[in-house]
Structure formats: C-alpha cells, structure tokens
Homo-oligomer: A and B are copies of this chain.
Amino acid sequence: MNLKYFFNRATVREYSDREISENTLTQMIDAASHAPTTGGMQLYSVVVTRDNVMKNKLAPCHFGQPMVTNAPIVLTFCADFNRFEAWCKASCAQAGFNNLQSLMSAILDVTIFAQQFNTIAETNGMGCCYLGTTTYNAQEIAEALSLPKRVVPIVTLTVGYPKHEEQILTDRLPVEGIIHHEHYHELTKSEVKQLYAAKEALDVNKAFVRENDKVTLAQVFTDVRYPQESNELFSKKFINFLKEQRYI
C-alpha cells in the first residue's frame, strides 16, 4: 500500500508569493468535481476570491484569521440547490428540496468536493487551510459573495504554495480509539484517559494549557476555543440563515 502522503500531510497556514494561475485552479476544481456526489447531482458551487478588497470583506467573517488575507486564493465552498432547482424549473420538474435531508445531501456533496480539492492541491505541491468558521457567519459571507437564495457557505479553504519547507504534523489519537468492530463500544473513564494521554503529554499542548491559564487540555477546548455561549450564539445565527435559505 502507498499511504505515505496521507500520513505526512499537514495544514499550511503561510504561503509564498508564488501565484496559482487561473488555468491551474480551474483544472484542479474540474478534477475535484469528479469526486463522488449524491445521485450525480453536484449540489455545490465554489466562489473564488483573489481580489484583496473581497478578502478584506471576508476576513472579519472568519474572525480575522490571517490566512484569509495572506493566501493568494480563498475558496468558499457552498451547498447549492439554486442551480439544480433552476434546471428543474427549466425542465418542468417540481422540486421538493426545501428540507433538512436535501441540505444534508448538499453538505455531504460540498464537503467531499472540498476535501478532494484539498487532496489535489496537497499532492501537487500546494497547501491549504480549512476555515471551520464558515457556518458561524454564513449570512455575512453570503452578503459579501452575493450568494442567492438556496446557497449556503459550508466550508472555506485558503490555498497557496507553502512559505516554509518544513511541515508541522498534527497529532492524532491512536487509531483504536476511533474504530469500532460490529458494535460501538463506549470507552471507560480509564480507557478515555489512556487514549488522550499521548496528546496531553505533547510539549505543544502543555504550552497551550499554560498560555490559556487552564488546568487541563480539554478545558482549552471547552472554555477558550469552543465555549458553550459562543456555540449557541452561532447556532442560532446559522438556524436563522438556514430558515431564510428555506432548508429548515
């Protein structure tokens, strides 16, 4: 088996000045569109941002993460029934996709498409960074990119050639912790502690706990990075946007 790339890939957050031509980008997106898609429907679109004015509009939607303005290209991947329904309308077909399952199909389609693009970029010398903040400020992103009804931004990738040669590999749980055979087996408290022990013992994670003035690594996630109030606020905002876009 050839697994080398998959074990050694890493997120790239800083980019060199090397440009990615329009032709190269189009070819990569075209190749990515051959990834699996629900019933062949391709329920997605991608908005390409190269213009600095547009990057500066998007930046606050992503809480000022520097990749948005530093990357040569920002790609906003959207769940999209707008195009498919326009085709239905032009084909005397009565669409019934104003619901959560249809949105789920589009979310799967666009995420698979984005991940295929990520793999294409990484295996061709480029680097990417996912911005999971896309659904937090979906309404504001939709306004910035003139997204019409039925188009929901789901995930963003910043893309470019890496500035640095060395990659910082991220730590992952021992694989036993994520595989279940035939039935799901809930872990005991001591099994959980053992599973996360190596992660907690990493210098970078110990520093993370200290810098954030916390006692445990998990507290950095619950209190600093993903606190309940913020999760709930952005959930409410997203639910309102999904209602406006007629998915729920």
Contacts and interface: CB of A to CB of B under 8 A. Distances in A.
Interface of A: 1-3, 6-9, 11, 24, 26-36, 38-42, 44-51, 54, 78, 82-84, 86-97, 99-102, 104-105, 107-108, 111-112, 114-116, 118-120, 123-124, 128, 130, 132, 135-136, 145-148, 151, 154-155, 169-173, 175, 177-184, 186-187, 189, 192-193, 195-196, 215-219, 221-223, 225-229, 231-232, 234-235, 238-239
Tally of this chain's copies: 2
7 contacts: A6-B34, A42-B172, A48-B181, A90-B218, A108-B132, A145-B180, A145-B182
Contact of A216 (B34, B91, B195): B91
A219 B217 CA distance: 53
A186 to B, nearest CB: 5
A27 B46 contact: no
